[in-house]
Amino acid sequence: MKVLIIMGSESDKPVMEESQKHLQYFGIDNEMIVASAHRNPDKVRELCITAQEKGFGVIIAAAGMAAALPGVVSAYTSLPVLGVPLDGGLPGGIDALYSIVQMPAGLPVGTLAVGKAGARNAAVLAARILALGNKEIAAKVEAFKQNGYRI
């Protein structure tokens, strides 16, 4: 299974490349796509409703400010959605954090820390999810743990 990384803006790429680096360490194929819930809602919808049939098992969605993207992604898929709040609005990305963590019942988004730490942890959490059905990923998750949670 692969991981789909969706971010709201091209400017989010330097942060979300942290997710890619960690996913590559775990041997997990991934694809990173820019698609804004506000600017490209039809693209977001299409990505989400076709993700599972394209072999994706987890979606990481990153957004700043209003941070609607992770919630919209959750509305369009049954896959696990991991939200990464990004800095860009209020100091420390607190607006994005609140937007992502305050999802209505039934539309879960696993919310991580703001910024690069959250991007890294989203990849690690995705690896742990996929490890449940993949012994090779499980072995790499264990090696990561034994290495002090470092790649």
The neighbouring-strand residues paired with 43 are: none
91: CB partners within 8 A, 6+ apart: none
Say if residue 12 carries a ligand binding annotation. yes
Query: H helices within the chain, ranges in order?
Result: 13-25, 41-50, 69-76, 94-101, 116-131, 135-146
Say if residue 78 carries a ligand binding annotation. no
**Alpha carbons within 13 A on the beta-carbon side of 35:** 22
The neighbouring-strand residues paired with 82 are: 60, 110
Q: Beta strand 56-64 with 2-7: parallel, antiparallel or unpaired?
A: parallel
Say if residue 99 carries a ligand binding annotation. no
The angle at the Cα of 77, spanning 35 to 120, to the nearest 5 degrees, equals 60
Annotated binding residues for substrate, written as ranges, equal 9, 12, 39
